[in-house]
Structure 1
């Protein structure tokens, strides 16, 4: 059975607002909540980028039932993997075992701030593989020493740990990333309803039980034209695809890269307006592709409360096959 999630998008909401949205989303009936981990928003118009891990600590205290997850954090440049491991177990303890560590190879947009330059995709994959090895070792307990091509760990140990290791999900986009990471993580993360990714993950992972966690941007609202305007203003960057999005260094780059993306382009790729059936149809594409979990991104901070009300009343029952 598919579970349905809500995205706490740090790029479009401040920290206090995110905590409020988290509590309201649990009340509305969502099964899990994912949070982006950015230093920059994608576009200046989005206007926010609070520190995700502080917000997660607060969210853990205002929710009781929903799973929590980073979607995703990069444990290679802004954060050393040993520190990410410490943060992950802390959030897991604060949430009574409700946390999943979602990781990825990162974007230049967020990682350039530490002044180390931006490696090629192959190097980033090497770094993430080493990071996952370190994090796994720390989750297993005891002292960890590690000397690799990209990271060193000197006698590290996690002193406050949950009974069960924190599950790890990893963002993948193709053959190389699946081959590299399927054996190092528990769950697949992807933003396209690609059945081929799911099949290859299961083949590489030897059909070990795992979740496939997708994400779908939507812009619900009573006025479709206003929703298209809002999606175009805040989410036109999405059309570049991750191979482009990972490389651009700042919001000016995303503004330039998306300057020719039209309202119609956005409306064709993102469900906009009051049509809940369109949202359900888009979610079903992930389910047909083999995804077990789908997190919705409602575009626009000011629209969250109205969206959560309609989600509780109509959208979630429709997704779960109940009468509206």
Structure 2
């Protein structure tokens, strides 16, 4: 299993994200995930740089493969623009780039005043968007007049030698079936073997990526406190994460979340066995790659823990 590091753009400024990427490569992580948001989930997280600028900068500071986890190419940004951004990213990273896509959240996609569609419509838009992106990556001028998107006389001139893979996230049966049908790989955050099995039954033996969150601290209780202060939204249930429109709404919903619930959502503290057990959950579920994110200020401690204790025991 490949172990990567998850760069949380919601929580860290661009310079710190680049510093984390350098340090993650030195520590022995093999790849990077990076989130793509317009807003953080809560004001306590406090950041949200434009991901494509950061991805370009990453190409200059490390050689690790990069996957967006995930970009929504349907509402806030037209798929023709995502196609150009991802093609440039693939060129800058010498082919070590994967475009991870998903159907998005209202938190990021409502900002231009567009209607936030129901799930079935969002998935339909995602399927068309991926088709537009791939058509543009073939080169030549593209004219597309679809149900959701129009492209006229568009051509991407800066293209990689090989188009980047497109991995599709999915958390429910319909989304997983779409991922299997149109994706070159699968993205999720839960160690759910049934979802992996469903994806592979529909799409074949394609790569499956997942990620989990940690809150490094000297004790589990301290890690729990940090996680609750920064990411209480991790305990918000159901479809609320897809439909709540702003950080303040997530903060309101998070008042229903208890601090001890963070222990279910995060690996809190510095227990090596807890990290190994979490990684093992994803391995047993069938994932090929797992990415760990740190929340809070102690990310150097997490990277050092993996370098000194986690990686030697894994490898």
TM-score by length of 1: 0.94
Instruction: Report the alpha carbon displacement of residue 313 of structure 1 after superposing the two structures with TM.
Output: 1.2
Cα displacement (A) at 1:242: 5.9
Which of 146, 150, 153 matches 1:152? 150
Q: CA deviation at 1:126?
A: 0.9
**1:315 matched residue in structure 2:** 310
Q: Distance in 2 between matches of 1:242 and 1:25?
A: 32
Work out the CA distance in 2 between the residues paired with 1:242 and 1:148.
32
CA contact (8 A) 1:69 1:102 kept: yes
* 1:32 matched residue in structure 2: 31
Given that residues 298 and 307 in structure 1 are in contact (C-alpha distance below 8 angstroms), is that contact kept between their aligned partners in structure 2? yes
Measure the CA separation in 2 of the matches of 1:282 and 1:98. Answer: 26
Would the aligned equivalents of 1:129 and 1:181 in 2 still touch at CA under 8 Å? no
Which structure 2 residues correspond to residues 191-210 of structure 1 after superposition, within 5 A?
A: 191-205=189-203, 207=204, 209-210=205-206
Deviation at 1:241, TM superposition (A): 4.2
State how 1:2-151 maps to structure 2 within 5 Å.
Answer: 2-64=1-63, 66-151=64-149
Q: Structure 1 stretch 222-231 or stretch 3-12: which is displaced more? A: 222-231
The SS at the match of 1:216 is: strand
Question: Which piece of structure 1 moves more, 31-40 or 196-205?
Answer: 196-205
State the 1:203 CA deviation.
1.4
The superposition leaves residues 71-93 of structure 1 with CA deviations (integer Å, 9 ceiling, x where unpaired) of: 00110111110110110110111
Deviates more, 1:52-61 or 1:266-275: 266-275
User: How far 1:257 sits from its partner (Å)?
Assistant: 0.9
**2:271 corresponds to 1:272:** no
Instruction: Select the residue among 197, 221, 226 that pairs with 2:222.
Output: 226
Matched, 1:245 2:244: no
DSSP-derived class of the 1:124 partner: helix
Counterpart contact for 2:234–2:265, Cα < 8 Å: no
**Between Structure 1 and Structure 2, how many residues are aligned?**
315
Question: Partner of 2:298 in structure 1?
Answer: 303
